[in-house]
Structure 1
Amino acid sequence: MTTTGAEETPAREDWPEPPPISDAGRLLTDVILTTFRLNGRLMEVAQERAAEGGLTAAWWQVLGGVLDEPRSVAEIGRRMGMTRQGVQRVADLLVERGLAEYLPNPAHRRAKLLGCTEAGYWAIRRITMVQVPWADRVGAEVGADELGAALATMRRLVDVLEADPEASRR
């Protein structure tokens, strides 16, 4: 046996056999691994596009959560798939740089709302000028029907995972 951190690792021959995986389980695993790869590539592209507006991909993501209306840090996190702490760090930087501002929250005295400033909207506009042609080009190559089907599947997976009590168990 070897020790890793606080847990001892049994000898390999003592490891339990995993249960057999179904075709759907195998496909879901492939979807997950492909999503990791896609996410990595999309984050590279997002970083390149965000630089056009003087932002990082994370700054763009947080500002994207408040373009239509101010929201609390927790709301932005839920909407954009980020942790509240991660959003808070980025939000503070955006406010410090004048790209966003904290506003009073009529529904909660302590949880302020984050809103986009004119400088933030301008940064997003500059990104949009390069992002839209890129999205049109890549989208045309894949096709609207395929993208629509992929989006529907992704939304269904999100719904199932968010409703699954075991999804967040460790």
Structure 2
Amino acid sequence: MSGEPLGRRQRQDALSRTALGVFRLNGQFLAVSEKLAEPAGLTAAWWQVLGAVLPQPLPVSGIARAMGITRQSVQRIADLLVREGLAAYEPNPAHRRAKLLAPTEAGRAAVRRIDPGHAELAALLLRELGGQEAFDETVRVLERLSEALETVSGEFRTPEA
């Protein structure tokens, strides 16, 4: 047995299990999102970007920040959405060069076609999790984990080899 304190191994195991669980969840959400989006003529990624701009137009960098992915990935998807007529670039009064991405009526209609399947999946998850209170707690835990990781990622430094 190594000389490592048990607490250190427990923390590392908890981190590994958390990461693996989140990676698995990510894959599961992507798979179900593809199923939900396909009948609307969207991909999960297109739906994700359109969903980010439904409340209000945003610059590509703002979408990327909200989604936790690279600006380049969002830019590629945004350009495809514009080419397909599902979104449009609008002038940004706050920044001349960083245009805002906004959904078109066709983009809004495509997202609306996802709503029935989205509502059904939400109801199924609500039942499986044991009710609204448990579902809300699940959301709070995931949001807290994301906030915590964002906070500590600025403090974390890779040890020298």
* Length, aligned pairs only: 154
Query: Which of the numbers 75, 80, 103 marks the counterpart of 2:90?
Result: 103
Once superposed, which parts of structure 1, at least 4 consecutive aligned residues long, lie more than 4 Å away? 17-20, 167-170
Q: Show CA shifts across 1:126-160 (max 9, x none).
A: 01121111211122211223322222222122112
- By how many angstroms is 1:163 displaced? 1.5
Query: Which of the numbers 48, 51, 54 marks the counterpart of 1:64?
Result: 51
Q: TM-score, normalised by structure 2?
A: 0.87
For 2:140, the equivalent position in structure 1 comes to: 152
Output the CA distance in 1 between the equivalents of 2:133 and 2:14. Answer: 21
Partner of 2:101, secondary structure, is strand
- By how many angstroms is 1:18 displaced? 10
Amino acid at match of 1:158: S
Question: After superposition, where does 1:116-131 map in structure 2 within 5 Å?
Answer: 116-131=103-118
Where does structure 1 lack aligned partners over 5 or more consecutive residues?
1-16
Higher helix share: 2
For 1:137, the equivalent position in structure 2 comes to: 124
Where does structure 2 lack aligned partners over 5 or more consecutive residues?
none
Output the CA distance in 2 between the equivalents of 1:168 and 1:73. Answer: 28
CA distance change for structure 1 residues 103 and 31 in 2, over 3 Å: closer, same or farther?
Answer: same
CA distance change for structure 1 residues 23 and 62 in 2, over 3 Å: closer, same or farther?
Answer: same
CA distance change for structure 1 residues 54 and 167 in 2, over 3 Å: closer, same or farther?
Answer: farther
CA contact (8 A) 1:161 1:167 kept: no
CA distance change for structure 1 residues 112 and 167 in 2, over 3 Å: closer, same or farther?
Answer: farther
Give % identity.
Answer: 46
Output the CA distance in 2 between the equivalents of 1:169 and 1:112. Answer: 36
For 1:10, the equivalent position in structure 2 comes to: none
Q: Show CA shifts across 1:23-49 (max 9, x none).
A: 333223211101111111111000010
For 1:161, the equivalent position in structure 2 comes to: 149
CA-based RMSD: 2.0
- By how many angstroms is 1:161 displaced? 1.5
Amino acid at match of 2:85: G
Amino acid at match of 2:144: R
Larger radius of gyration: 1
Partner of 1:109, secondary structure, is coil
- By how many angstroms is 1:74 displaced? 0.4
Output the CA distance in 2 between the equivalents of 1:18 and 1:109. Answer: 59
For 2:29, the equivalent position in structure 1 comes to: 42
CA contact (8 A) 1:100 1:114 kept: yes
CA distance change for structure 1 residues 86 and 149 in 2, over 3 Å: closer, same or farther?
Answer: same
Q: TM-score, normalised by structure 1?
A: 0.83
